[in-house]
Amino acid sequence: MVDQLTQHDPRRIGPFEVLGRLGAGGMGLVYLARSASGRRVAIKTVRTELAEDQLFRVRFTREVEAARAVSGFYTAAVVDADPRAAVPWLATAYVPAPSLEEIVNECGPMPAQAVRWLAAGVAEALQSIHGAGLVHRDLKPSNVLVVEDGPRVIDFGIASGVSNTRLTMTNVAVGTPAYMSPEQAKDSRSVTGASDVFSLGSMLVFAATGHPPFHGANPVETVFMLLREEPDLEGLPDELRPLIDSCMQMEATGRPNPADLQSQLAPHLFGSGSDDSGTASAWLPERAVGLIEARRNGRPAPKPGQPPARGGGRPAPLPIPPPPSHDPVVPAPPVRSAPRRLARSGWPVPRCRSAPARASRTSAPPPSRHRPPSRRSPPPGPNRAPA
């Protein structure tokens, strides 16, 4: 949804007229804007502390040039950018569609086959992004838009620009705790495309179950679970477990690349000999189709529990509440030493202990890789004293 501009928002960015706010992310604000010819774009701006970092500007300039080369069908193309502006910005094609996060929150978990189509589209997008020499570093449900003919991955080329700046050099991890890879939580400067594959697996768990695989009471606990515990796969259909397990291997070298993922998915998508994935009704539930159409046409969503009528108009809709413009603020736990911090949230990153394997969430027996563990609060971590 588009929010009205405040008195502090710019009215023009580069050659574009700013129309409204689309939201706020870890790198800065996102605006809906219009070119002189009427083309609508989404403009991502950069936070002041990043804009003042000359090392960030150098890297961001390089990443923008690489992002221009990303032309895959399942990505939102970069149309313009100015990394040398007082407030650096990047403009991409505007996709008037709900995010995967909105789809699942509004319509519930996706069926297994819809999750497979989602995985195939995002895997193809990652091929394009990695082929341009980029790593997304912040692949999550809010960065995947869902339209009739498949997903669109957005916000590549910004999260990657912060890597190797003074933020990461002062022990800051870049990403979103619930969806980052283990190696990203330890050192975001050295991640490869395999990190995005782990994030894809985590995102697919959310799509299929309605919850991420790691979800602590705050970012510290979430990262602790990521590094030390098995993922929470409660509610995940058995038929999707091999796909999720391959993506979420702890060691980056054990994960498939995006092309391998597509090969793994193909027999399930095209085994019947039919290919009608080009329409939303072929791979999405009716409620999700209604939400997509409503967003594209600027209408409220269909009433919950009442699917769109077939062939004779649609039921009276209710408004969709706008997504939050910023991440919820959680009070920070006490910090005893100078730990690393997460760039998106300012939370300390717990150090991984010397034990070679993850601790299970249950005392005995430990859960298997393909059996969801019971939900319990994590054991005391570096920043959490025992009761």
Tokens of 132: 């341009």
Query: Active-site residue 9, yes or no?
Result: no
* Distance from C-alpha of 61 to C-alpha of 71, rounded to nearest angstrom: 18
Catalytic residue (choose from 9, 53, 80, 138): 138
Dihedral sign from CA coordinates of 285, 99, 231, 248: positive
Query: Distances from the Cα of 282 to the Cαs of 5, 106, 113, 117, 147, in angstroms?
Result: 38, 19, 10, 10, 12
Contacts 24+ apart (CB under 8 A), 362-369: 366/230, 367/230, 369/230, 369/245
Residue numbers annotated as active site: 138
